[in-house]
C-alpha cells in the first residue's frame, strides 16, 4: 500500500466510531485504552557532536499525551524530559501540547516532505539516564529548539501501521548557553494502534544498517545514541 498524504493526518482509533454516551468505562476494552498514535524524530549532527530525539504520543481514550525528549552532546551531561500525563493536543487534529514547563509542537508543513518542530521547556541534566525514572533528580535546565525535517526519499512501511522516513535536519538549539545551529541526518516515524512501534530498525546511515561512524539511534529507554565520537549512552532510563 502506498503511503500518501492521508496517512500524515490524525488517525482514529476503532472506538472513535462510537460516542462517549454509547460507551461506558467498563465497556472499553484494554486494546481501546492502550491505542495510541505517535510521531518521533531523531537528528544526529553532521559532526557527530550532538544527537536529538523527540517523541510525542497521544492516547485518545484516556485523553493524555506522552512526550519523551533527549539531547546528547559530547562532553556534556545528557539532558532528558519524560512526561506521560500531559493534556491532549490543542487545537484538535494538531500536534501541539502545553503543560507545566513545556510547550512542544510538530507541524506537517508539506505531507511526506517537510515537518517543523518547536520546543520551549525545562528539562533535566542528569548524571545517569536512569535517574529520569528512578528519582527524577537532576539539574533543571532550559531547553528549546526550532528544527526542520526535509525528506531525502520516500517513506517506507515497517508494519501495517508504522512507517519511517529518512531526511536531513537543520535548525537552532536553544539552551542556557545561548543558541547553536545544528544540521545533520534525520529519521522520523509515524505509527498508530495497540502494538509498540518498531523504531530501532536500522541506523540513519547506509542501506546496510551500519553507519560508517558506528552510530545508530534506538529507544531511549534502552539506548538513545552510541557513537565512536564519544556521545553518552542512554541505557534503561
**Residue 48 belongs to a domain with what CATH number?**
2.40.370
Residue 15's pLDDT is 58
- Looking at the domain assignment, is residue 25 inside a domain? no
Q: What is the model's pLDDT at position 202?
A: 40
Which residues of the chain have a pLDDT value below 50? 17-28, 199-237
The answer to whether residue 22 is domain-embedded is no
> How many structural domains compose the chain?
1
What's the confidence (pLDDT) of residue 123?
Answer: 94
Any domain includes 17: no
pTM of full prediction above 0.85: no
- pLDDT at residue 139 in the model: 92
Is residue 21 a part of any domain in this protein? no
Quote the cell numbers at residue 38. Answer: 505517535
Would you say residue 70 lies in a domain? yes
Query: Cα separation of 97 and 101, whole Å?
Result: 11
Establish if 12 belongs to a structural domain: no
Residue 38 resides in a domain: yes
52 belongs to a structural domain = yes
pLDDT at position 193: 92
Q: Compute how many other C-beta atoms are within 10 angstroms of the C-beta atom of residue 47.
A: 11
Q: Which domain holds residue 145?
A: 33-226
Q: Where are the beta strands (DSSP E) in 46-177?
A: 50-59, 64-73, 79-86, 95-99, 102-110, 114-125, 139-151, 156-159, 162-175
Amino acid at each position: 500500500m502506498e503511503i500518501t498524504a492521508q496517512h500524515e493526518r490524525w488517525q482514529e482509533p476503532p472506538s472513535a466510531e462510537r460516542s462517549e454516551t454509547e460507551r461506558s468505562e467498563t465497556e472499553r476494552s484494554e486494546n481501546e485504552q492502550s491505542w495510541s498514535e505517535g510521531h518521533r524524530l531523531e537528528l544526529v549532527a553532521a559532526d557527530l557532536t550532538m544527537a536529538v530525539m523527540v517523541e510525542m504520543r497521544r492516547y485518545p481514550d484516556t485523553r493524555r499525551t506522552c512526550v519523551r525528549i533527549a539531547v546528547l552532546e559530547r562532553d556534556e551531561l545528557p539532558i532528558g524530559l519524560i512526561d506521560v500525563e500531559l493534556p491532549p493536543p490543542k487545537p484538535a487534529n494538531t500536534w501541539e501540547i502545553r503543560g507545566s514547563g513545556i510547550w512542544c509542537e510538530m507541524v506537517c508543513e508539506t505531507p511526506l516532505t517537510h515537518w517543523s518542530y518547536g520546543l520551549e521547556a525545562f528539562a533535566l541534566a542528569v548524571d545517569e539516564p536512569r535517574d529520569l525514572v528512578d528519582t527524577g533528580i537532576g539539574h533543571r535546565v532550559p531547553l528549546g529548539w526550532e528544527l526542520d525535517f526535509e525528506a531525502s526519499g520516500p517513506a517506507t512501511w515497517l508494519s501495517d501501521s508504522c512507517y519511517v522516513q529518512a531526511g536531513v535536519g537543520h535548525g537552532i538549539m536553544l539552551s542556557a548557553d545561548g543558541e547553536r545551529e545544528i544540521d545533520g541526518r534525520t529519521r522520523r516515524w509515524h505509527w498508530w494502534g495497540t502494538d509498540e512501534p518498531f523504531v530501532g530498525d536500522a541506523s540513519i546511515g547506509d542501506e546496510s544498517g551500519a553507519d560508517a561512524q558506528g552510530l545508530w539511534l534506538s529507544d531511549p529507554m534502552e539506548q538513545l545514541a552510541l557513537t565512536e565520537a564519544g556521545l553518552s549512552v542512554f541505557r534503561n532510563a
